[in-house]
Amino acid sequence: MTEQFRCPSCQAPYAVVRVETDEKEQLGQVNCTECSFPFSAYENGSILKYFKTASSNVRALRK
Ligand SMILES: [Zn+2]
């Protein structure tokens, strides 16, 4: 199951995959590949993995 996510800072599009885990320890932080905005890597018992999706930003479309 994937969810769509956009970086709240630069609007870069990501697909988010949730992976259930029993680990309770702090996980490494995830950062936007475009602007380094920090995303949460853990939520409600699941690890969040972010995959940048094909760019569909306005600049590319105007080419
Ligand atoms: Zn960003």
Count of domains observed in the chain: 1
Give the mean model confidence (pLDDT) for residues 25-40: 87
Is 29 within a domain? Answer: yes
Question: Does a structural domain hold residue 15?
Answer: yes
Instruction: Kindly tell me if the per-residue pLDDT of 56 is higher than 80.
Output: no
- In this structure, is the dihedral angle defined by the CA atoms of residues 41, 29, 51 and 6, taken in order, positive or negative? positive
Neighbours of 12 (CB within 10 A): 19
Residues with CB under 5 A from ligand 1 (ion): 7, 9-10, 12, 32, 34-35, 37
pLDDT of 7 > 90? The answer is yes
How many angstroms does the Cα of residue 10 sit away from the middle of ligand 1? 4
What's the rounded Cα separation, in Å, for the pair 31 and 37? 5
- Residue 62 inside a domain? The answer is no
Give residue 47 CA to ligand 1 midpoint distance, Å.
19
Q: What is the dihedral of CA 52, 56, 57, 62, to 10 degrees?
A: 150
pTM of the model: 0.73
Range of the domain at 48: 2-56
In a domain, 46, yes or no: yes
Question: Cα(41) to centroid of ligand 1, in Å?
Answer: 15
Give the distance (Å) from ligand 1 centre to CA of residue 21.
26
